[in-house]
Amino acid sequence: MLNVIFFSLVGGLLSLSGALILFRNNKQAKKVAKYATPFAAGVLLAAAFTDLLPEAIELKDVRPVLIAALGGIILFFLLERYVRVFHHHHDEDVAGNRSQNSLIIIGDTLHNILDGVAIGAAFLIDVPTGVVAALAVAAHEIPQEIGDFGLLIKNGMSRKRVVIVNALSALATTVAAVIVYAVGDSESTFVPYLLALTAGFFIYIAASDIIPEIHGKSDKRDIRPWLLVFGAAFIMVVSPLAHDYIDAGHSHDESHESLHEHDEHDDADEHEDYHDEHDDHEEEHDDEKQ
């Protein structure tokens, strides 16, 4: 449970710290968002295809898992298409329109809840999968939060209020992650489907929102396509290392506990043998008296 709380909070704090760059230097913030976004796309795709989907397939047959992932892509497409608060806002959509601030905040909170569900479901499998999901969420949230901060400030909200509102919204990630982790376990039948839906969510964000943006404003000297590749490679390297390192730690803890239990068992046996010998001596002594 502590791992779930820690990593879901870390993701939210990282996204907020990235957005706070906007307060110090608007140009620098836009540059961070420009180059962090394709990196996030690579992270999301790799997390979906190399971690979440394989983990789901280990728990369930391939076909229902892939159907659930496809269902996740279609579901989030329909939500963005017909539910306004799920739309990823752009400057031309809402800049200068104060009435849209509430929609931005509600939409951001709902996205954070979905992020928390993804993190909680991933931690139900094991800690490394949860860490990878949390990294993917944080990578995506940093450029998104920079965009949301900029829009809210443009729409007349004070900087102090923007920070408070977004900090409270980010807590939705932790709350959702804890709830999912608390009510489920790795043996729950819904876990593979939840992982597949999460993978569909990650794939949809990368393929529909981020990649088209890279294509739309790109030339041969643009490094953003390579940042996408780097983001995918980053997860493909980090994920196995995290699994190996944390699994090795668990194995060491289990062997240590087993050794400790064995030592306690030996001590108990020795104690019992001592009492048996003591009882035998007393019986011999009584016989001699008689």
N-terminal to C-terminal alpha carbon distance within the chain: 65
Residue 269 domain-assigned? no
On average, the pLDDT of the chain sits at 77
pLDDT tens, 225-235?
A: 888 999 899 98
Residue 189 domain-assigned? yes
Mean of pLDDT values over 99-110: 76
Residue 162 domain-assigned? yes
For the entire predicted model, the pTM comes to: 0.72
pLDDT tens, 37-76?
A: 888 889 899 999 998 999 899 888 999 999 999 999 999 8
- Return phi, psi of residue 220, to 5°: -65, -25
Residue 269 pLDDT class (50, 70, 90 cuts) = low
Residue 206 domain-assigned? yes
Mean of pLDDT values over 79-96: 59
Exposure letters 129-162 (e unless 16+ CB within 10 A, then b): bbbbbbbbbbbbbbbbbbbbbbbbbebebeeeeb
CA distances from 259 to 83, 123, 208, 251 (A): 57, 28, 53, 12
Mean of pLDDT values over 247-264: 51
Residues of the domain holding 93:
2-231
33/19 Cα distance (integer angstroms): 9
CA distances from 187 to 56, 100, 125 (A): 12, 42, 9
Residue 187 domain-assigned? yes
Residue 72 domain-assigned? yes
pLDDT tens, 127-160?
A: 888 888 888 888 877 777 777 777 777 777 887 8
Residue 198 domain-assigned? yes
Residue 245 domain-assigned? no
CA distances from 289 to 188, 275, 284, 285 (A): 68, 21, 9, 6
Mean of pLDDT values over 218-242: 84
Residue 111, burial from CB neighbour count under 10 angstroms (0-12, 13-18, 19+) = buried
Number of compact structural domains in the chain: 1
Mean of pLDDT values over 201-215: 84
Residue bearing the bigger pLDDT, 80 or 181: 181
CA 167 from centre of chain = 17
9/167 Cα distance (integer angstroms): 10
